[in-house]
Structure 1
Amino acid sequence: MIRRTALAPLLVGAALAAPAAAQELTEERVKDLALEAILENPEVVMEAVAILQQREAAAEEAARAEAVSDLSDDLFGGEDAPVLGNPDGDVTVVEFYDYNCGFCRRVAPTVEALIAADPQVRVVMREFPILSEESVAAARVSLAAMGQDGWTEMHKALMDGGRADAAAAMAAAEEAGMDLDAIEAALAGGAADEHIERSRALADALGIGGTPAFVIGDRVIPGAVPLEELEEAVANAREG
């Protein structure tokens, strides 16, 4: 909070010091007094900047919460996305991720721990391949494999493995015992591309520019955050 040494009291003091001129302060004189006050109290500027930054952050968070509310059906429905955890859970966590994102790989065990610790959590996995065309190719295969037994094992292999591309994703699917012909047929159907385009549109509307990013309740949480932060957000969403 700006201290009482801020500009307004200083200007009032200057005006009271010259009663005869108090009603005749020109715009130029006010500017001069303001400059003098800033030069004498430079910390006031930093405090004002901090307050403005806090207000901007609060406004941005409020705008994101409104966007989450407006897009809740597309975000939390998950009909076009793989789902981990409890499909009938009472709180849905949405994760935007890229298989070639190092931070996504770092947070993957955290998401697993969240699911293991809370049997009522449902996690919608939104493919958001933004790092390379290889990421797009891996995401398409993953989405084409959605619904088959073994998807979770394939997903984990891609998160644990090296560079992800179409070949790596197909190899992971084969290792998980999945039907590769069915994956090829699904790829030709175009649903994977529709999912990716929808993810991009949702991310743009929510101000998400990187991965990983989580949507829990009315909050957008960017980055590879610790388990405690995810658990707190889930608890708040459950209470709300």
Structure 2
Amino acid sequence: MPSRRATLALLAAAAASPALGQTADRPNPMPGELREALERDRNGIVLGNPDGNVTLTEFFDYNCPFCKKLVPAVQRLIGADPQLRVVFREWPVFGEGSDFAARAALAAREQGKYWQVHAGLMAMKDRAAEPSVMRVIRRLGLDEAKLRAAMQSDPVEDHIARSFMLAEHMSLIGTPTFIAGDEALFGEQSFDDLTALVARARKTLGVAAG
């Protein structure tokens, strides 16, 4: 895992470049340093095809109702596109409960249970807060002491810090935000919206659909 110092140095380099636009109308080209920081973080969370020819990044929060609503669309997109690489960025913008949830999910990686915890938190009807998050953790049988220790670890701190720094640099306004190519979309999106975003990204990057 990269050290916090290395993470901050990479983001500082990216911050010297113009920010990413939020709309499809003539978006700014993304500088290489920024794309590297956004898409290729060794401490990131990758699903879909890790060697895919285009990357879709999602910034999300467990207390964001639209993030939860879009889980099936993202899963469908991954299933429909064998060359799609997806990066999840935990971005806890809805306060203390969101921060606790993000830390718990990231810490669960040490026990090989990130995806189970992520799915459990996304499926919750209650607001994400320490009591509701820990109910999910206990139901999944994780070691609570190890989890709480890992919640303060460098990899967890690095992931969350990077999410906030990237979001600030790119002037993101909330969750969910989806980024592909040189374009970002904020808010509720349909499956067709996400498919079109990925298609435009392939055109921008000069790669063919898989």
Give the TM-score taking structure 2 as reference length: 0.76
Is the 8 Å Cα contact of residues 92 and 122 (structure 1) preserved in structure 2?
yes
Say which structure is richer in helix.
1
Q: Which residue of 2 aligns with 1:222?
A: 186
Is the 8 Å Cα contact of residues 129 and 139 (structure 1) preserved in structure 2?
yes
Question: Residues 169, 121 of structure 1: CA spacing in aligned structure 2 closer, same or farther, 3 A cutoff?
Answer: farther
Matches within 5 A, 1:1-240: 62-63=27-28, 65-66=29-30, 69-146=32-109, 148-161=111-124, 162-239=126-203, 240=206
Q: CA deviation at 1:124?
A: 0.8
Letter in 2 for 1:235: A
Q: Which stretch shifts more, 159-168 or 91-100?
A: 159-168
* Per-residue Cα deviation, 1:49-107 (whole angstroms, up to 9, x for no partner): xxxxxxx98798534x335x441111001322222222222221110000000111111
Please give the alpha-carbon distance, in whole angstroms, between the structure 2 residues aligned to 1:57 and 1:170.
Answer: 35
Q: Which 4+ runs in 1 deviate beyond 6 A?
A: 56-60
Please give the alpha-carbon distance, in whole angstroms, between the structure 2 residues aligned to 1:86 and 1:203.
Answer: 24
More contact order relative to length (CA 8 Å, sep ≥ 6): 2
* Per-residue Cα deviation, 1:150-176 (whole angstroms, up to 9, x for no partner): 322221111110211234334323433
Question: Residues 234, 134 of structure 1: CA spacing in aligned structure 2 closer, same or farther, 3 A cutoff?
Answer: same
Secondary structure of 2:151's aligned partner? helix
| Structure 2: runs of 5+ lacking an equivalent | 1-20
* Per-residue Cα deviation, 1:131-153 (whole angstroms, up to 9, x for no partner): 11110111111111126433222
Question: Residues 114, 195 of structure 1: CA spacing in aligned structure 2 closer, same or farther, 3 A cutoff?
Answer: same
Letter in 2 for 1:154: V
Letter in 2 for 1:220: A
Please give the alpha-carbon distance, in whole angstroms, between the structure 2 residues aligned to 1:210 and 1:228.
Answer: 21
Aligned-residue sequence identity (percent) comes to 39
Q: Which residue of 2 aligns with 1:40?
A: none
Letter in 1 for 2:195: E
Please give the alpha-carbon distance, in whole angstroms, between the structure 2 residues aligned to 1:169 and 1:79.
Answer: 26
CA RMSD of the aligned region, Å? Answer: 2.5
Letter in 1 for 2:27: A
Please give the alpha-carbon distance, in whole angstroms, between the structure 1 residues aligned to 2:177 and 2:47.
Answer: 16
Which is higher, the Rg of structure 1 or of structure 2?
1
Q: CA deviation at 1:207?
A: 1.3
Secondary structure of 1:83's aligned partner? strand
Question: Residues 177, 217 of structure 1: CA spacing in aligned structure 2 closer, same or farther, 3 A cutoff?
Answer: farther
Corresponding residue pairs, total: 183
